[in-house]
Amino acid sequence: MSSRGLRQLAAQTRVDFTLLWRNPLASFFTVVLPLIFLFVLTALFGNELVTPVGPRLASRFVPGIIALSVVQASFVNLAVVTVFRRETSILKRVRGTPIRPWVFMGGLVATSYAVIALMAVLMAVIGWAVYDVDLLWEAVPGLIVTLVIGGAVFCALGLAFTNVVPNETSGPPFLNLVVLPLYFVSDVYVPASDDTPRAITLIGDIFPIRHLAVALQRGFDPLTDDSLWPVTNWLVMAAWGVAGALVVTRWFRWTPRD
């Protein structure tokens, strides 16, 4: 990767990041909606101590909402933007310009990572300042690895999912049809407990969203006995990422479907 390519990538990332914030609908679903979910969950379930010595209940909600933010910033936003650019022939025109395809797509991926980092920090700060949620500092390296892997996996899956979206108006409904049911079985809104039906956890274990949420929970729950390095969760997510990358390599379209 040459220095010229890096400069082009930085410039493209600035453009994509600016376009995200200039799109009220995209910025709402990517940034504002996760915050609303956090406030609603704590309002509904309270923020009492889980045990007499802590932690508070919000410590179970924060990592799930961070996982939701990762999915929204990478899988959902990347797929919606890519389908729109494909169906309006922007991707087709890019192929005829000197800009390298990996630079053009890399700007979207880099923007996803920027939003992921922003939302992870924002959620952690709000959790600490408003809901007395403590971050386990010894778990921070593992959390960073989880976010890096999660971002890559869901970016790959987002690009792969563009193959089944017929047009730009179908993008949000298609994506919501996929992610909304999975949020409920993937420890995103409410973590699984001993009373959770086994069928629900089995379904969640198949898909990468639950593995992302569970891996993030280790950084906020001092009562967990799990390892601070959730290798099993990383491997499951990575397997989905490899599958998504293979689909992108084989079937990604730069031209409109019609």
pLDDT digits (tens, 9 = 90+) for 89-101: 888 888 878 878 8
258, part of any domain: no
Map residue 56 onto helix, strand or coil.
strand
Which of 202, 216, 205 has its CA nearest to residue 71?
Answer: 216
What pLDDT sits at residue 114?
93
Local confidence band at 141 (pLDDT 50, 70, 90 cut-offs): very high
Residue range of the domain that includes 44: 3-251
Q: Once rounded to an integer, what is the mean pLDDT over residues 25-42?
A: 87
237, part of any domain: yes
Number of domains making up the chain: 1
7, part of any domain: yes
Which two structure tokens, joined as six digits, stand for 122? 């924002």
110, part of any domain: yes
Mean pLDDT of the chain: 88
Amino acid at 210: R
Which two structure tokens, joined as six digits, stand for 68? 């939701």
Separation CA 100–CA 104 (nearest Å):
7
66, part of any domain: yes
Query: pTM of the entire structure?
Result: 0.91
257, part of any domain: no
What pLDDT sits at residue 211?
95
Separation CA 234–CA 147 (nearest Å):
10
Element (H, E) at 70: helix 58-71
81, part of any domain: yes
19, part of any domain: yes
∠ Cα 31 74 108 (to 5°): 100
Residues 6+ apart with CB under 8 A from 26: 20, 77, 80, 81
Local confidence band at 52 (pLDDT 50, 70, 90 cut-offs): low
Which of 19, 62, 68 has its CA nearest to residue 184?
Answer: 68
Contact 161, 178 (CB under 8 A): yes
